[in-house]
Structure 1
Amino acid sequence: MRVTQSMLASNSLKNLSKSYANMGKYQDQLATGKKINRPSDDPVVAIKGMFYRTNLTEVEQYKRNLSEAYTWVENSEAGIDQATQVVQRIRELTVQAQNGSNSPEDLQAIGVEVAQLKEDLYSVANTKVAGRYIFNGTQTMNPPITKDNEGILQFDKMVTNSFEVEVSKGVQLKVNIDPSSVFGSGIFSVIQELEDELSVGNLQNGDELLTGLDNNLEKMIAERSDLGARYNRLELIDSRLADQEVIANRILSDNEDADIEKVITDLTIQESIHRASLAVGSKIIQPTLIDFLG
């Protein structure tokens, strides 16, 4: 086959174009820090990257869910703690009221404090976090305890079902408590009876009321213990997700991130090849007919 001057020029330009493309690829890798910048650069790496990135996105979503779970559990624990303190204080006042040296006025004064503590317990039961009631199951937009026109507490809207958060793939964790065990009508009935007797300056059922307070305190402690166990599990899941996130980022980096030292070396070599190609091309392609004839 006869090789013409135009063929030499065409091949030289084609090779120079490839050289420019290679340098452009290495410069893109340096600029982005990635092995590929489009799927066509390496379809296998691109497909694996999509899979690894999906895994990382799932882990990040579960970590956001964990933050939500921590908010519910920690605020629920704080609510139980305050409710327990309130009931314990009411118990102390009941024991104090049973002292035979109290006058009717003393008992009435104790009744006033009991009434205020009852209002505080009511307030805790209707705790809102981020605009949602945390002690009313899945009915987070409705308060668990309401008052009628006469100020009497109503418990008909209290919901006891579980509010669950997905904290890992296929794992739903209950993050609320059973409000009936902590803020149910039982504890308020005992406190109301105590308040009514103290308000008239005569405590007749002190022992019975103490028993009622103790029974409700046991329920609160049991509910708090159960919540603590779930909090411990939440911390274990959090630790496992943190490990999964580190692993997912490392795998994604291994798959997509460019070896900068190697890219710089390859770019330097390619620049040398490109300069050599330009030099050889200038010798092969004769610039004028006179040079060709000469």
Structure 2
Amino acid sequence: MAVRVTQNMLNSNMLRNLHNSMRNMDKLQQQLSSGSKIAKPSDDPVVAARGMFYRSSLMENEQYKRNVDEVKSWMDMTDSTLDEVGNVMKRLKELLIYSGDGAISPADLQSMSSEVQELKAHLGTLANQQINGKYIFAGTDTNKAPYDPSANGGKGDFVNTNSSPINLEVSQNVFVTSNINAQNVFNFPDNANNIFKLLDNIITELSNGNSASQFIADMDQQYDNLLAERASLGASVNRVELIAERLNAQEVNITGLMSKNEDADMAKVMTDLKTQESVHMAALGSGARIIQPTLLDFLR
């Protein structure tokens, strides 16, 4: 059965086709000006959902990188502090060896006692090292000074007993300890025989004008233990640096995937836009021929 085509039908179809053509040009123009494939989620729900996932992954990666930076700052501060502790111990050993010289007078030994006292005070300052207002050798009690100069009858001692680790998540379900167990450094081998009690014994002997060379072996033990702790810390630093490199590479990969998902191919968009412009001009030309002439056209 034949269908009767009226002028109104021709006009309606022409206007609808022109509208679709203009809508396609508007979409391409938006892509060209924004550089993005979509302007709103309804344009392509799949692209929008993937974009949300990639952005969420980037935010997580950025937080992991911040955690890694914090861990590295703690470890760097810890390592530099332990290095200075080692320098103090080396100077103490020099004094112990020197005190064994039979030509040293009791007055000189008493002067050495004063230097050892100053070195002990400096060691206490190192034990109370802070970063961002937190004590790095206090375990999880980061708001309490681990070394108390008034402890042990005013002689000063390491009073902290907290050995809990401070863990930060540097990747999904991957945690890294940012601090060390300070009990293994300042309370080695135990609180009754730690480095500060050893220095108290050295000070007592030197103050009495006696040699303190008998404590050389104990000082060597303290120094060897310190080197072992620094070696363990160095291994942790190497691991954190590898994690940081992986996070940087992961950020580049996620950014690339997000770009492929959302960014428009500018060359293709420009080509499509020129093609659509030609199609639109052709549609306008054909539409002008479709519109039926009126009486006014003949009167001109």
Do both share a fold (TM > 0.5)? yes
Match of residue 107 from structure 1: 109
Q: Deviations over 1:31-51 (max 9, x none)?
A: 221111211111122222222
Q: Structure 1 residue aligned with 2:200, among 192, 206, 214? A: 192
Match of residue 202 from structure 1: 210
Structure 1 consecutive aligned stretches of length 4 or more whose deviation exceeds 4 Å: none
Is 1:83–1:121's contact at 8 Å kept on the other side of the alignment? yes
- How far the C-alpha of 1:288 sits from its partner, in A, is 4.1
* d(CA) in 2 for partners of 1:70, 1:256: 35
Match of residue 53 from structure 1: 55
DSSP-derived class of the 1:165 partner: strand
Q: Deviations over 1:121-155 (max 9, x none)?
A: 11111111111111111221222112338643243
Q: Structure 2 residue aligned with 1:216, among 219, 222, 231? A: 222
* d(CA) in 2 for partners of 1:191, 1:288: 114
Q: Structure 1 residue aligned with 2:180, among 148, 168, 177? A: 177
Match of residue 165 from structure 2: 162
* d(CA) in 2 for partners of 1:44, 1:106: 83
Question: Which 5+ residue runs of structure 2 have no aligned equivalent?
Answer: none
Q: For the structure 1 residues 5 and 105, does the alpha-carbon distance in structure 2 shift closer, same or farther, using more than 3 Å as the test? A: same
- How far the C-alpha of 1:230 sits from its partner, in A, is 0.8
Q: Structure 2 residue aligned with 1:152, among 155, 164, 181? A: 155
Q: Does 1:270 align with 2:272?
A: no
* d(CA) in 1 for partners of 2:129, 2:249: 34
Q: Which amino acid aligns with 2:252?
A: V
Question: Which 5+ residue runs of structure 1 have no aligned equivalent?
Answer: none
Task: Give the root-mean-square deviation of aligned CA atoms.
Answer: 2.1
* d(CA) in 2 for partners of 1:36, 1:74: 46
Which shifted more, 165-174 or 235-244? 235-244
Identity score, percent = 45
DSSP-derived class of the 1:172 partner: strand
Q: Which amino acid aligns with 1:42?
A: D
Q: Deviations over 1:250-270 (max 9, x none)?
A: 222221111110011111111
Which shifted more, 137-146 or 147-156? 147-156
Q: Deviations over 1:8-65 (max 9, x none)?
A: 3322222222222111211221222111121111112222222233222222221111
Q: Which amino acid aligns with 1:25?
A: K
- How far the C-alpha of 1:156 sits from its partner, in A, is 3.3
Match of residue 259 from structure 1: 265
Per the normalisation by structure 1, the TM-score is 0.92
Q: Which amino acid aligns with 1:253?
A: S
Is 1:163–1:176's contact at 8 Å kept on the other side of the alignment? yes
DSSP-derived class of the 2:144 partner: coil
Is 1:30–1:263's contact at 8 Å kept on the other side of the alignment? yes
